Chains A and B, each alone.
Chain A
């Protein structure tokens, strides 16, 4: 079984986001970048499946600018066997990413495609489902548990009401929740080894996919600020404020 894992480079989840003054986006210069957190869970799950003997190869793929390669390199350091970097400059929407990934799937023929359920930059939550649609594959989104069977997966999904379990036949797409597993850190020897693993570079333009944005970005702004609150000295004061000032209880 072969697993393709898609990863995205995003602003690190600990960075305080700053909006550019001209409203054109958020500040990314000199800002720490990392792998999108649930994509780390996707890689981890693939590596665990390989370690259990049920997968033979893991290919990590990313779509993005030159530096996006770092996320592939990190995936190689935790256990992916080789990487693919589809190079594209500027903003790319999930629809275009899913079309690019479809081309990669057609080339690589994986049995499973894993990725994070949502990227923490644009918060779109679309790419996995879109890829599944293009391929006419089943989708198991927001996975918090995956059981690999011979020709199917049993996936527990995190849904509003609690947990839902579905069975999907392979090939299938799984989008991973943060609760799926605990991503490991790459060891130094593995980081060194990863430097020797191959990353194939492909230009998005060579794949024949239209990557022009369909959504015009008009402006980015700061969310309205909450007005500063106060500290209360005691529980009695808190209850009085809630009752008489805020009038919410």
Chain B
């Protein structure tokens, strides 16, 4: 038995969630190979080879993989998937887009978004926006599994020296063309991996008012999240959305400001270690998951919160 993990990267660096998926994959089987499909991504191959949990890096280098296209990745994976018992990747937009295409062509019923490896064929996964947990056992001989990255620690990235094997590319799909990607660059920690997240909801009332959130985020070195309502209202861009269909975050501290706490939002943050809710509606459902609730007008509470933080001698980084 050996497992094949599909790496997500930008031809320069491994994306962090791949490291979480590596941890999960190694719990399924220690004979873990990573498939890197890219263009001029030798640096990525090298860094993957240094991950101690990785036994081998399979590297496909071809210009058709300069941008990630699920159709092209699928063809490449299928060409090399034969000898593996499991094909694995992270359950973010990368893996969600990719894995079902692979699974269907292998006639495998995929197990999506697992949060625990119980045995090589049995997994725990959330359903109904995390309102229930299902234990499921795959009866397919080969398995396709996606990993909820925030449920597994990131793998160590140094000390390993896995072999890098160059392997062949597959055919390119003629029917899908990459046009562009608007990535919003930010100096802040990434939402999915930040230690502290502060999120704003409809209570902020405008995009300008998000500055109140930004100021606190700067002070705490926190990532900025948002409810779907805030994104839909145009206060902030979509990559900040936390929830069932946005990002799932599990920071040490999650601060929900002006967010009522719809089931769909709770699905994205309720596993956080400490949750703070600031809302002027004392009946808001967000208080039911909050460790510390502050019933207050956010327009008064946030500046005051920043002031109090400034008074502290040290803030953990």
Contacts and interface: CB of A to CB of B under 8 A. Distances in A.
Contacts of A229: 275, 287, 289-293
Secondary structure class of chain A's binding surface, majority of residues: mixed
A163 B292 contact: no
A230 B127 CA distance: 28
Given A26-B132, A161-B239, A167-B176, A223 B126 contact: yes
Interface in B92-128: 92-94, 96-105, 107-113, 122, 126-128
B93 A124 contact: no
B110 A95 contact: yes
Contacts of A128: 100
A83 to B, nearest CB: 25
B178 to A, nearest CB: 6
A95 B293 contact: no
Interface stretch (B36-44, B52-60, B301-309): B301-309
Contacts of A188: none
Contacts, number: 259
Contacts of B213: none
A29 B110 CA distance: 28
Given A120-B244, A161-B181, A246-B291, A172 B175 contact: yes
B132 A215 contact: no
B194 interface: no
A178 B136 contact: no
Contact of B179 (A129, A165, A172): A165
A123 B128 contact: yes
Interface in A130-185: 130-134, 137-139, 141-142, 144, 154, 157-169, 172, 177-179
Contact of B100 (A133, A168, A215): A133
B132 A222 contact: yes
A239 B274 contact: no
Contact of A179 (B231, B244, B253): B231
Contacts of B129: 17, 120, 123
B253 A138 contact: no
Secondary structure class of chain B's binding surface, majority of residues: mixed
A133 B101 contact: yes
A25 to B, nearest CB: 8
Interface string A225-249: 0100111101110110111001011
Contacts of B270: 226
Given A142-B97, A232-B294, A249 B132 contact: no
B69 interface: yes
Contact of A239 (B126, B138, B232, B308): B308
B157 interface: no
A22 to B, nearest CB: 13
A216 interface: yes
24 contacts: A13-B263, A16-B131, A17-B131, A93-B109, A129-B70, A129-B100, A139-B71, A142-B97, A164-B182, A167-B177, A213-B109, A214-B109, A214-B140, A217-B136, A220-B132, A221-B132, A222-B132, A223-B132, A230-B291, A230-B293, A235-B304, A238-B292, A242-B276, A246-B291
Interface of A: 11, 13-14, 16-17, 19, 26, 38, 93-96, 98, 117-118, 120-134, 137-139, 141-142, 144, 154, 157-169, 172, 177-179, 213-223, 226, 229-232, 234-236, 238-239, 241-243, 246, 248-249
